[in-house]
Amino acid sequence: MHPIRQPIGVFDSGIGGLTVVKALMEDLPCESIVYFGDTARVPYGTKSKSTIVRFSLENVEFLLRFGVKCIVVACNTSSSLALPTLSRYFKVPIVGVIRPGALAAVRETQNKRIGVIGTRATINSKAYETAIHRIDPKVKVYSQSCPLFVPLVEEGWLNGDVCLNIANRYLDPLRQQSIDTLILGCTHYPLLTRTLRKVLGPDVVLVDSAKETVTEIRGVLMGSDSLCERRIKPRYRFFVTDEPHYFHDIGRRFLGRVVGSVERVNS
Ligand code: DGL
Return phi, psi of residue 228, to 5°.
-95, 110
Same domain, 83 and 106: no
Q: Where a domain ends, among 209, 227, 252?
A: 209
Q: For residue 45, how far is its CA from the centre of ligand 1 (angstroms)?
A: 5
Please check whether residue 97 is in contact with residue 49, taking contact to mean a CB–CB distance below 8 angstroms. no
- 161 exposure class (CB count in 10 Å sphere: 0-12, 13-18, 19+): exposed
In CATH, what number is assigned to the domain containing residue 47? 3.40.50.1860
Q: Which of 70, 146, 163, 186 is catalytic?
A: 186
| 7 DSSP 8-state letter | P
Ligand 1 neighbourhood includes 39 CB (under 6 angstroms): no
Cα gap 98→212, rounded to integer Å: 9
Q: Where a domain ends, among 192, 209, 226?
A: 209
Indicate the top mutation candidate among 10, 18, 39, 42 to test ligand 1's pocket, ranked by most ligand atoms within 8 A of CB: 42
Tens place of pLDDT per residue across the chain (267 aa)? 777 889 999 999 999 999 999 999 999 999 999 999 999 999 999 999 999 999 999 999 999 999 999 999 999 999 999 999 999 999 999 999 999 999 999 999 999 999 999 999 999 999 999 999 999 999 999 999 999 999 999 999 999 999 999 999 999 999 999 999 999 999 999 999 999 999 999 999 999 988 889 999 999 999 999 999 877 789 999 999 999 999 999 999 999 999 988 999 987
Which among 196, 115, 121 has a CA at the least distance from the CA of 152? 196
Domain count, the chain: 2
Same domain, 204 and 215: no
Question: For the chain, percent helix, then strand, then coil, each to nearest 5?
Answer: 50, 15, 35
Same domain, 145 and 205: yes
Q: For residue 229, how far is its CA from the centre of ligand 1 (angstroms)?
A: 31
pTM, to two decimals? 0.96
Ligand 1 neighbourhood includes 80 CB (under 6 angstroms): no
| Amino acid letter, residue 48 | S
- Give the structural domain span for 32: 3-96+211-264
